[in-house]
Amino acid sequence: MSLSAFLAENAVPVENIKFVASKRFLGEDGNPIPWEIKTITGTEDEALRKSCAKRVPVPGKKNQYQKETDYDLYLGKLAVACTVFPNLNDKELQDSYKVMGADALLKTMLTPGEYAEYLTKIQEVCGFDTTMQDEVDEAKN
């Protein structure tokens, strides 16, 4: 056994995928325009999770806190980080929807059903076998 297979130059790159997030955005040919999605690294994902974590007091325990992740916020940031096309940070695109910020733009561009489906696809591309919503639902039960 050799460790050379694990070297960065020998790893098979993860390809970006095309996904029709909405049938409402049509190209000149009349067909829906596919969006381009990429995966992010574990380091980038950890930074996203940390940015969505907050300290909340433990009920009944004075001066004790636990870390809690806002999964809705996390999934929104993950979707923005993974979206290559369209460029959600484009000022003209944000202005056309009268929003500021890529996360707000994404939520405004897509209907609630499209947004939920897009988040599921993002998680699939990033290699999550179960969606974050499945994990949240399981934790609640």
131 lies in a domain? no
Query: CB–CB of 36/17 below 8 Å?
Result: yes
Q: Which H or E element spans position 72?
A: helix 71-82
Residue 73, domain extent:
15-126
With respect to residue 25, please indicate whether it lies within any of the assigned structural domains: yes
Residue 132, pLDDT score: 53
Q: Is 69 left (phi over 0), alpha (psi -120 to 50) or beta?
A: beta
Domains of the chain: total? 1
Residue 37 domain flag:
yes
**Considering the domain boundaries, does residue 134 fall inside one?**
no
Digitized pLDDT (tens) for each residue of the chain, 141 residues in all: 778 888 888 888 888 999 999 999 999 999 999 999 999 999 999 999 999 998 888 888 888 888 888 899 999 999 999 999 999 999 999 999 999 999 999 999 999 999 999 999 999 999 887 655 555 566 555
Distances (CA, A) of 141 to 6, 71, 131, 134: 39, 16, 16, 11
* Closest C-alpha among 87, 86, 85, 71 to residue 119: 71
The confidence score (pLDDT) of residue 139 equals 57
Residue 137 falls inside a structural domain: no
Cα angle, residue 106 at apex, residues 19 and 138 outer, rounded to 5°: 80
**Residue 8 counted as domain residue:** no
